[in-house]
């Protein structure tokens, strides 16, 4: 029954994710393909957990734990997608999504050099401080005629 519920939530998440991208004008076939592959990977992880449970006994501890994790993850994703579409959400649901998003976004590590920072941090820094094309080599004032 849990796996059936997971299948339903995965399907709803895919549909709401598609609708969210469509509403915002961000539909991309590559992004959609990667999303579908992630959904397939969810069931691969569940299958692996089921195999581990089979070796350890028929208690289904690992499989159920994995399924509960993905159920929660998919439910949060559906709520987030609904908010992006513009469906009114209760404040406590919006807050829950924001809390989980802030926990999952990597933070800058002051002990790492700028080249060793996580990729999202590098991209954020680049967008805040774009490189200037007015280097001494290309500046018109430094060229000789």
What are the tens digits of pLDDT across the range 32-69? 899 999 999 999 999 999 999 999 988 889 999 999 99
Specify whether 76 is located in the same domain as 17: yes
**What's this model's pTM, rounded to 2 decimal places?**
0.66
Share of the chain above pLDDT 90, in %: 46
Among residues 87, 107, 139, the one where a domain terminates is 87
The reply to whether 38 and 27 lie within a common domain is: yes
Q: Does 7 share its domain with 70?
A: yes
Query: In whole angstroms, what is the distance from residue 133 CA to residue 86 CA?
Result: 40
What are the contacts of 32-40 at 24+ separation with CB within 8 A?
A: 39/10, 39/13, 39/14
Confirm whether 5 is domain-assigned.
yes
Residue 60 lies in a domain: yes
Round to whole Å and give the CA distance between 72 and 22.
24
pLDDT of residue 44: 97
Residue 138 DSSP label:
T
Q: Is 135 inside a domain boundary?
A: no
Domain membership flag for residue 1: yes
Range ranked top by mean pLDDT from 27-31, 42-46, 79-83, 132-136? 42-46
46 with 114, same domain? Answer: no
In this prediction, residue 11 has a pLDDT band, given cuts at 50, 70 and 90, of very high
Give me the domain span that covers residue 110: 90-126
The pair of structure tokens assigned to 15 is 């549909």
**Which is more confidently placed, 84 or 145?**
84
Window from 11-20, 94-103, 112-121 with minimum mean pLDDT: 112-121
Instruction: Please tell me the least confidently modeled range out of 2-6, 34-38, 72-76, 133-137.
Output: 133-137
81: nearest Cα among 18, 4, 36 = 18
């Amino acid at each position: 029954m849990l796996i059936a519920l997971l299948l339903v939530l995965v399907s709803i998440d895919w549909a709401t994710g598609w609708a969210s991208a469509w509403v915002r004008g961000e539909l991309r076939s590559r992004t959609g393909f990667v999303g579908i592959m992630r959904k397939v990977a969810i069931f691969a992880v569940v299958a692996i957990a089921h195999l581990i449970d089979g070796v350890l006994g028929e208690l289904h501890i690992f499989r159920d734990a994995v399924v509960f994790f993905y159920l929660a993850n998919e439910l949060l994703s559906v709520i987030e997608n609904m908010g992006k579409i513009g469906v009114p959400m209760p404040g406590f649901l919006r807050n829950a999504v924001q809390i989980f998003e802030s926990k999952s976004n990597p933070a800058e590590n002051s002990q790492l050099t700028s080249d060793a920072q996580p990729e999202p941090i590098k991209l954020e820094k680049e967008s805040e401080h774009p490189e200037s094309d007015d280097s001494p080599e290309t500046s018109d004032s430094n060229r000789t005629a």
